[in-house]
């Protein structure tokens, strides 16, 4: 019997790997040099950053100089989209297409992009949160500067056909960016495999530290910086580099990963829930086009907010697709995009698994959930 807490929110963040922590430790204490300095301490920091950059570049199938380190996936996506938009100001292309179920770091760019004078259109997704190529064909035209569609949805785990979508974008002369934060080091995310011009990733989703991410981009892509200062990161991102974070990122990409372990734990979890007839309905299933880490459900009654509190008390850490704001739970924009009404869009629960999740933990989590969500104990009015 497992008495401790069970963490099933790996899509939100992953535990820092011990090897990563050890690699970072010296750069938080004795190796404190500024990599822009020319003395020994600075040169040592610069060499360590270069080594980490090479590791990240290799993982994404790009050259050393085609990686810009950022503060995370949000800034990386912002640099790709806003940077492209600012570089394209005054040109003939004034339209930007964004997937309807994107992460907020992309959707919340709509207002600033509109202020720059761009027309923004949302590419509709299907009932499984997937962007079909036919949907992009309906939206795109020769005025399109950029298309941005995430590799896999962060809530449902459904994988988008990025290589097909990028072909359509390029056929119309548009750039293509994908947010690969959820798929990085699980699925192929190199630019050639995806056909993308820009790919944004984050370290803390792959057992690296928080506060560091990267944008990989093809040479020749015109981007304007969105942060200004001392000209670091090839004058694309001003500010002293997060040396320890970058080194942690470079170490994390070299870790051994076993997506099959995540899939086994996830499938065990789903099977036990189904056997116990827990009042949860799988939103998109657990097929081949869903990440091995994800199981997304919609409660048959009541809200996710109540369920999350009860599950937390029962020692199960999971999440809802909804975002807490000012004490109120907003409906999931992803579930709204796939056609759910507001009531059902407030009932989503996401359980996500890591390489360290055991079959025993998956089984025990399902048992705890069955007790918490027992229909005889949990009424529709809660």
Pairing of strands 144-148, 175-179: parallel
Nearest residue to 36 (alpha-carbon basis) of 169, 202, 233: 233
Residues tagged active-site = 324
Give the C-alpha separation, 95 to 97, whole Å.
Answer: 7
Residue 161 backbone dihedrals phi, psi, to 5 degrees: -80, 70
Local structure of 174: helix, strand or coil: coil
Which position has the token pair 């970058």? 246
* Span between the terminal Cα atoms of the chain, in Å: 30
Instruction: Give all strands (DSSP E) within the chain, no chain letters.
Output: 6-7, 67-70, 95-99, 119-123, 144-148, 175-179, 198-202, 213-217, 280-282, 294-299, 316-317, 324-325, 328-329, 348-352
């Amino acid at each position: 019997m497992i008495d401790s807490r069970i963490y099933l929110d790996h899509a939100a963040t992953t535990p820092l790997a011990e090897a990563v922590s050890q690699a970072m430790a010296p750069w938080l204490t004795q190796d404190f040099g500024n990599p822009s300095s020319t003395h020994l301490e600075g040169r040592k920091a610069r060499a360590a950053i270069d080594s980490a950059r090479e590791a990240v570049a290799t993982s994404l199938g790009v050259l050393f100089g085609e990686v810009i380190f950022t503060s995370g996936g949000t800034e990386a996506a912002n640099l790709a989209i806003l940077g492209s938009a600012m570089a394209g100001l005054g040109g003939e292309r004034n339209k930007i297409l964004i997937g309807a179920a994107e992460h907020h770091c992309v959707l919340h760019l709509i207002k600033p992009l509109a202020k720059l004078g761009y027309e923004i259109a949302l590419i509709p997704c299907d009932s499984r949160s997937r962007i079909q190529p036919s949907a992009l064909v309906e939206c795109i035209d020769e005025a399109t500067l950029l298309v941005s569609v995430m590799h896999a949805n962060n809530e449902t785990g459904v994988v988008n056909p990025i290589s097909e979508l990028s072909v359509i974008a390029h056929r119309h002369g548009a750039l293509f960016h994908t947010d690969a934060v959820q798929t990085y080091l699980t699925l192929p995310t190199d630019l050639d495999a995806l056909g993308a011009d820009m790919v944004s990733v984050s370290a803390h989703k792959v057992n690296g530290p928080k506060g560091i991410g990267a944008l990989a981009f093809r040479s020749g892509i015109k981007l304007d910086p969105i942060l200004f200062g001392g000209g670091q990161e090839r004058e694309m991102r001003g500010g002293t580099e997060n040396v320890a974070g970058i080194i942690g990122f470079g170490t994390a990409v070299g870790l051994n990963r076993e997506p099959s372990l995540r899939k086994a734990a996830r499938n065990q979890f789903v099977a036990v829930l189904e056997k116990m007839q827990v009042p949860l309905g799988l939103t998109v299933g657990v097929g081949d086009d869903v990440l091995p880490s994800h199981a997304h459900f919609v409660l048959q009654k009541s809200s996710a907010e109540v369920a999350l509190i009860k599950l937390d008390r029962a020692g199960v850490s999971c999440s809802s697709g909804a975002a807490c704001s000012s004490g109120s739970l907003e409906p999931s924009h992803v579930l709204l995009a796939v056609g759910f009404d507001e009531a059902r869009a407030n009932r989503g629960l996401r359980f996500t698994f890591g390489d360290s999740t055991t079959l025993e933990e998956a089984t025990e989590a399902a048992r705890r959930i069955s007790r918490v969500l027992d229909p005889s104990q949990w009424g529709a009015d809660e």
